[in-house]
Amino acid sequence: MDVPRLRRVLLRWFARSKRPLPWRQTRDPYAIWVSEVMLQQTTVAAVIPYYARFMARFPTILSLATGDEDAVLEMWSGLGYYARARNLRLGAQVLARNHNGTFPRDVETAMTIKGVGRYTASAVTSLAYGARVAAVDGNVFRVLSRLYAARDLTSPRAQQLATNLLSARAPGAWNEAMMELGATVCLPKRPRCQTCPVRTDCEGRSRPESWGGGRPRRATIKTMVEMALVIRSDRVLLVRTPTGDLMGGLYELPHAGLPGQEEACMALRDRYRGRLRVAPEAVTTIRHAVTHHRIEALIFRARLLKLPSGDAIFQPRGALSRLPLGGLTRKALRAVGIPV
C-alpha cells in the first residue's frame, strides 16, 4: 500500500465527488456537532430536513442552552432516541457555563460533555478546527478493514490504523473523505470496487465482502402498540411518556406496547383499566420505524372514565402542534384525519 498516493487520490476524489450536505457548508463546530448527533443511528436523507429546522430554531450554542426542553424535543420529534436531544441541550448548557459558549478544541475536553464520545469529539474538532485526530465511525471501520484486509479488526486497532493513515495536512477533509468513501462507494453489500478511487492500494479489493461488514448491527425489534384516541369537546387526550421510555419525554396518545402479536385491546385495557373504555375494533393500523424498532400500532377509539395518573392533558385539536409530539402519535393522528 502506497500511503502517500492513497491520501492524495482519496482527497482529490473527495474534493470532486462529495455530496453537498448542509453541514458541509460550514466550519461552525456547533453546527457540525448538531449534525453528528442527529446522524447517530439515522440516515442522511432523514436528517436533512430536521437539521435545517433545528438550526433555524437554535442557531447557536447559547440559543440551545437557554431553549426550553419542550421546544428542543419538538424540533427532534420523529428522529427518535430523544436522549440525544436532551444531552445536546445539557451539553450546550455546560459549554455556555464553563467554556464561553464554544465547543472545545481538544478531544479529551470535548469528551467530558455528556453524550459526546470519542468519535463525535474527533469528528467535530477535526472538521471545525483541523485537529489531527482520526474519526472512526461504522463506515470508516469497514473501509479500514477492507483496505488492510483485516478480518478480525478491533476498535483500538481500527483507531490505530486510522491514525496512521490520517492526512496531517487536511485531517478534517481526510476524515470526511473516509466516511464518504464508506457511505457511497465501499458499501456493506456490493462495494463499487470497479470505480473506487483507492482500488490500487486496497488490499481487500479481490474479496471485499470477506472483510469487515462493519460493526454488528443492532437486531430489529418488532413491537405491537395499541393506542387510544380519546376526543372530548374537540380536545385530544395525550399523556407524557416517562424519560426512559422509547418515546420518552414526548406527548403521545395513551398507549401500551406488546412484545409480539397479542390479542387486540388487552394491553391497552390492562394498562388503563378503570380509566378508559376501549372500543372492541381498531379504527386503523399504522406502521412506524424508530431506529431499530419496527412498530405496528392499532388505533382504538376510547371513552374517558377517569383521567390517567401522571402527566395527562386534553389539548385542543388546533393547538396539538404546539406540543412536542412523538412521531408515532403524529402519524396516528394524521391517519384518523387530525392534521398535525
Closest CA to 34 of 76, 70, 94: 76
Q: How far is CA 73 from CA 33, 77, 168, in A?
A: 17, 6, 39
**Shortest Cβ distance from residue 8 to ligand SF4 (Å)?**
15
Q: Which is nearer to ligand SF4, 127 or 196 (CB)?
A: 196
Q: Does 179 bind ligand SF4 (CB under 6 A)?
A: no
Q: Does 147 bind ligand SF4 (CB under 6 A)?
A: yes
Q: Which is nearer to ligand SF4, 192 or 287 (CB)?
A: 192
Phi first, then psi, for residue 251 (nearest 5°) are -90, 135
Cell numbers at residue 133, please? Answer: 485526530
The window from 2-10, 33-41, 63-71, 186-194 that contacts ligand SF4 (CB under 6 A) reads 186-194
Q: Cα–chain-centroid distance for residue 234?
A: 34
Q: Does 138 bind ligand SF4 (CB under 6 A)?
A: no
Residues 7, 86, 89, 146: which binds ligand SF4 (CB under 6 A)?
Answer: 146
Q: Does 320 bind ligand SF4 (CB under 6 A)?
A: no
CA distance 246 to 120: 23
Q: Does 198 bind ligand SF4 (CB under 6 A)?
A: yes
CA distance 148 to 145: 5
Q: Does 158 bind ligand SF4 (CB under 6 A)?
A: no
Q: Does 177 bind ligand SF4 (CB under 6 A)?
A: no
Q: Which is nearer to ligand SF4, 75 or 196 (CB)?
A: 196
Q: Does 185 bind ligand SF4 (CB under 6 A)?
A: yes
36 is a catalytic site residue:
yes
**Shortest Cβ distance from residue 193 to ligand SF4 (Å)?**
3
The window from 194-202, 279-287, 290-298, 305-313 that contacts ligand SF4 (CB under 6 A) reads 194-202
Q: Please give the torsion angle defined by the CA atoms of residues 32, 34, 40 and 43, in that order, rounded to the nearest 10 degrees.
A: -80
Q: Does 29 bind ligand SF4 (CB under 6 A)?
A: no
Q: Does 199 bind ligand SF4 (CB under 6 A)?
A: yes
Catalytic residue among 36, 74, 176, 226: 36
Catalytic residues: 36
Where does this chain bind ligand SF4 (CB under 6 A)?
143, 146-147, 185-186, 191-193, 196, 198-199, 202, 204-205, 208
